Amino acid sequence: MVRLAQVELADPLPVDEVGDASAFDDWRTRCRARLDTLLGPLPDRVPLDLDTLESVRCDGYVRHKVVFDTEDVMSVPAYLLVPDGRAAPGPAILAVHGHGPGKATVVGLATTEAPNGDYAHQLARRGFVVLAPDLRCFGERADWNPPDHYACDTNLVHAVMAGWSPLAQNLWDLARALDVLGAHDLVDAGRLGVVGLSYGATMTLFLAAWDQRVRAAVVSGYFSSWAESHKMPWNMCGSQVLPGVLGQLEHVDLAALVAPRPLLIESGRQDDLFPATVAAEEVSKLRTVYRALGAPDDHLVHDVFDAGHQWHGDEAYPFLERCL
């Protein structure tokens, strides 16, 4: 923690210069290059070979269990929720789960300590096509571990030995999930959104910053800063970090790469992991960026609510309906 507190950004977001289009564009080019460098090597693209394993009728939609390939040796299990009555291509959402049982949580088939976590289910009922995959080490992609081993951290050890980053591997999987959504007959590939809570919000922010196909994003229970989020020593895990990221890339930097696309950030006032006060300070910097880029005020929303580390949704659902 001492060293973490001493880290200074080598190339911080130039809040005082965002009105200078040339200077800010140069900074964003450098920031994107740093992100690419930190992510390291990425897998080769392979055919998705999407396969549907079962279909179950639910309240207002059909839940398909699907699997698709993202590497020559890696497949991703997911739930694809298709709302009733959809006759023409429309918006779709990639719903990314947080720590816990995996995709089963966001579709309402499993519960965690965080309330309101069934956002994939809620979005499908509102008419969105939704894809909810398992991230590596979660759900059907979880390998057995001894009780004293944490899967995310064990996976980091194995990945580092092979020269990979688990965050980059999951980011690759999620980008291929966007391919799956964009290819669906009932999806308009120009109207793709991504949402996530906690670890899912980590991946949401990185994906929206990295992949321009994301037209709107909801980052819930994550946005603050590296220094603040590490004050709880057990807060971050091996799947949420990039080697060498400190001093190179901050949460607000990633969000600045999302701008001027619509972004909603949820912060619980009682969330000790990602404090709302710190989030508000960073959102204030970010708002300067959005305004300098000419984005409407409603393209950046900070929903601060009275609860802890959980999904809220009160503003997120109408935000997605409006922006997609």
Question: Cα–chain-centroid distance for residue 183?
Answer: 20
The whole-model pTM stands at 0.95
Q: What domain range includes position 49?
A: 2-323
Kindly report the CA angle at 288 between 18 and 297, in degrees rounded to 5? 130
User: Quick one: pLDDT at residue 152?
Assistant: 80
Question: Please, how many CA atoms are within 13 Å of residue 103, restricted to the half-sphere of its CB?
Answer: 25
Q: Which amino acid is at 20?
A: D
User: Quick one: pLDDT at residue 28?
Assistant: 95
Helices (H) and strands (E) in the chain, counts: 11, 9
d(C-alpha 38, C-alpha 164), whole Å? 10
Identify the CATH number of the domain in which residue 113 sits. Answer: 3.40.50.1820
Instruction: Determine if the peptide bond prior to 260 is cis (ω within 30°).
Output: yes
Name the nearest CA neighbour of 124 among 174, 98, 86.
86
Domain count, the chain: 1
Kindly report the CA angle at 125 between 124 and 126, in degrees rounded to 5? 85
d(C-alpha 258, C-alpha 261), whole Å? 6
**Residue 291 backbone dihedrals phi, psi, to 5 degrees:** -70, -40
Q: How many CB atoms lie within 10 A of CB 229?
A: 19
How many residues make up the chain in this entry?
A: 324
From first to last of its 324 residues, the chain has per-residue pLDDT tens of 556 666 788 899 998 888 788 889 999 999 999 999 999 989 999 999 999 999 999 999 999 999 999 999 999 999 999 999 999 999 999 999 999 999 999 999 987 777 789 999 999 999 999 999 999 999 999 887 788 777 888 888 888 888 889 999 999 999 999 999 999 999 999 999 999 999 999 999 999 999 999 999 999 999 998 878 777 766 778 888 898 898 899 999 999 999 999 999 999 999 999 999 999 999 999 999 999 999 999 999 999 999 999 999 999 999 999 999
**Residue 25 backbone dihedrals phi, psi, to 5 degrees:** -60, -40
User: Quick one: pLDDT at residue 1?
Assistant: 55
Which helix (H) or strand (E) segment holds residue 54: the answer is: strand 51-57
Residue 246 near residue 230 (C-beta atoms within 8 A) = no
Edge-first strand order for the sheet with 74-83 is 51-57, 61-71, 74-83, 129-133, 90-96, 187-197, 214-220, 263-268, 300-305
Kindly tell me the sign of the dihedral angle through the C-alpha atoms of 220, 224, 225, 231: negative
d(C-alpha 20, C-alpha 296), whole Å? 19
User: Quick one: pLDDT at residue 5?
Assistant: 63
